[in-house]
């Protein structure tokens, strides 16, 4: 059966007792920063940390007794994996999940903790999916596709129904795109209920598989690329999802890696909300003014919060550098007692906090009797950095910024 509004409504009745009705609060700060009236749909607050529970559960509940008895198998970079593991094992079904080798540890560990058998295979989702299909055929298990399945699409579409109820006079919805299951379901629910609401899809520049498919008129396989938005790192969109996107989605845009990282940092710092890369791309598109929206009442979908802690630390570090709140200066000074003390006094007077120092007496063209010191500083912004550099220049220090 094709995806329909009726099917999405039935999916909602089927899953609503087990799925958290995530909030969609208005954000004054995000509205100010983007020029829209922004409402954040926080599906990163689901039990497994992402919206994927909706589609996975709807699919599991529609399986036949024979399909359930064979156990289920899925391929996923993480969120679909956890969703299947959680809801399958809770119903006594055997679950096996094939995940790419580079899947963040937090996602593999969580998947195993929900009771699934985790198999690491392949460099990306596509290779993991091929292996999952092979194992499904070999062991007779039921394969649960993460996006190209009508029941999964209709499960994800329940988000659209919630948005219509939660946000009066909704004018636009901005949704991440990987394989297209999420936006296909949400767009169907929204457009079949109110065709005047705009639906905008966002991909990463690294893997714009839906954009390429829309241009070609059919799914195409694009080269693999690494991206911090690993949850939407899909090289080929679905046969079922593309027609729905062509029918219901008004606009497709793409965002760059640094823009995604900034959106993660903004959400964490301004909204106290943790989002993974795939969960932050919709906001990234608005922050960077990539869409045609101008002042509309807009729902921005925050789809997942399962981010590797080490990656988050790197994103925070890089974000501080880009905002001018952390910088590194390479300063030449004489190699004699008291020279460092004089330098640090200037920095202290400028109210700059020293995070790290490193001396080098052999490189960077250092003369005998001199040294170079790399100093990492916490600062208030680019203007503060320039104030510090002016003070150093006036004091006779040769230096450069090496961000």
pLDDT digits (tens, 9 = 90+) for 115-128: 999 999 998 888 89
Domain with CATH 3.40.50.1100 in the chain: 5-50+155-319, 52-143
Question: What beta strand segments (E) does 256-360 contain?
Answer: 297-302, 326-334, 353-360
Split at pLDDT 50, 70, 90, the class of 28 is very high
Average the pLDDT over 239-250 and give the result.
Answer: 98
Q: Indicate if the alpha-carbon torsion angle 109, 111, 115, 120 is positive or negative.
A: negative
Report how far residue 87's alpha carbon sits from residue 82's, in angstroms, rounded to the nearest whole number: 9
pLDDT tens track for 179-234: 999 999 999 999 999 999 999 999 999 999 999 999 999 999 999 898 999 889 89
Q: Which of 50, 46, 2 is nearest to 22 (CA)?
A: 46
Rounded mean pLDDT, 34-39: 96
358 versus 300: the higher-pLDDT residue is: 300
Residue 277 Cα to chain centre, angstroms: 2
Between CA 207 and CA 235 the distance in angstroms is: 6
The confidence band for 338, taking pLDDT boundaries of 50, 70 and 90, is confident
Q: How does DSSP classify residue 50? A: B
Q: Which fold has domain 5-50+155-319?
A: Rossmann fold (3.40.50)
**CATH level 3 topology of 52-143:** Rossmann fold (3.40.50)
Predicted local distance difference test score (pLDDT) of residue 372: 84
**What percent of the chain clears pLDDT 70, i.e. is strictly above it?**
97
**Residue 317, token pair as written in the block:** 């570090």
pLDDT surpasses 60 at 364: no
Which is it for strands 370-378 and 398-401: parallel, antiparallel or unpaired? Answer: unpaired
Residue 100 in this model has a pLDDT that exceeds 70: yes
Tokens (6 digits) for 257: 């890696």
pLDDT on residue 362: 59
Q: How far is residue 177's CA from residue 288's CA, in Å, rounded to a whole number?
A: 17
Instruction: Tell me what pLDDT residue 365 has.
Output: 59
Hey, is 226 helix, strand or coil? coil
What does the pLDDT look like over 37-56, one tens digit per residue? Answer: 999 999 999 999 999 999 99
CATH superfamily of 325-401: ACT domain (3.30.70.260)
Mapped to the 3 state alphabet, what secondary structure does 136-169 carry?
HHHHCCEECCCCCCHHHHHHHHHHHHHHHHHCCC
To the nearest 10°, the Cα dihedral for 211, 215, 216, 222?
-30
Domain with CATH 3.30.70.260 in the chain: 325-401
What is the model's pLDDT at position 89?
96
pTM for the complete prediction? 0.89
Binned at pLDDT 50, 70 and 90, residue 103 comes out as: confident
Q: Work out the mean pLDDT of the chain and round it to a whole number.
A: 93
Q: What's the confidence (pLDDT) of residue 213?
A: 97
Residues 299-336: tens digit of each pLDDT: 999 999 998 888 899 888 888 888 889 999 999 888 78
- The pLDDT value recorded for residue 363 is 59
105 confidence band (pLDDT: 50, 70, 90): confident
**What are the contacts of 131-135 at 24+ separation with CB within 8 A?**
131/75, 131/98, 132/73, 132/74, 132/75, 132/98, 133/75, 135/73, 135/96, 135/98
């Amino acid at each position: 059966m094709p995806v329909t509004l009726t099917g999405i409504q039935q999916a909602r009745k089927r899953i609503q007792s087990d799925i958290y009705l995530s909030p969609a609060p208005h954000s004054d700060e995000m509205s100010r920063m983007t020029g829209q009236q922004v409402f954040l749909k926080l599906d990163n607050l689901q039990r497994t940390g992402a919206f994927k529970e909706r589609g996975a559960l709807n699919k599991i509940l529609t399986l036949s007794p024979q399909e359930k008895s064979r156990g289920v198998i899925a391929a996923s970079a993480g969120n679909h994996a956890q969703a299947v593991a959680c809801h399958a094992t809770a119903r006594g079904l055997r679950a096996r999940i094939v995940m790419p080798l580079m899947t963040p540890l937090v996602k593999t560990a969580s998947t195993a903790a929900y009771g699934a058998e985790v198999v690491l295979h392949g460099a990306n989702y596509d290779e993991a999916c091929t292996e999952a299909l092979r194992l499904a055929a070999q062991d007779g298990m039921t394969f649960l596709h993460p996006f190209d399945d009508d029941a999964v699409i209709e499960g994800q579409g329940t988000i659209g129904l919630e948005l219509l109820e939660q946000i009066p006079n909704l004018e636009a919805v901005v949704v991440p795109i990987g394989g297209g299951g999420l936006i296909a379901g949400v767009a169907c629910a929204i457009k079949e209920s109110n065709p005047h609401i705009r639906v905008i899809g966002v991909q990463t520049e690294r893997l714009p598989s839906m954009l390429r498919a829309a241009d070609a008129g059919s799914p195409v396989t694009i080269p693999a690329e690494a991206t911090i938005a690993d949850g939407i790192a899909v090289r080929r969109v679905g046969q079922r999802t593309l027609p729905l996107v062509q029918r219901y989605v008004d606009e497709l845009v793409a965002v760059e890696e640094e823009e995604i990282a900034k959106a993660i940092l903004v959400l964490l710092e301004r909204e106290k909300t943790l989002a993974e890369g795939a969960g932050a791309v919709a906001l990234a598109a608005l922050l960077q003014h990539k869409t045609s929206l101008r002042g509309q009442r807009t729902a921005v979908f925050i789809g997942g919060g399962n981010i590797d802690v080490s990656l988050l630390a790197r994103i925070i570090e890089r974000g501080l550098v880009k905002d001018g709140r952390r910088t590194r200066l390479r300063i030449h000074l004489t190699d004699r007692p008291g020279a460092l003390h004089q330098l640090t006094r200037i920095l202290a007077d400028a109210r700059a906090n020293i995070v790290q120092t490193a001396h080098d007496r052999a490189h960077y063209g250092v003369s005998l009797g001199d040294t170079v010191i790399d100093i990492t500083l916490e600062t208030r912004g680019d203007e503060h950095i320039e104030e510090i550099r002016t003070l150093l220049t006036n004091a006779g220090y040769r230096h450069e910024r090496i961000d």
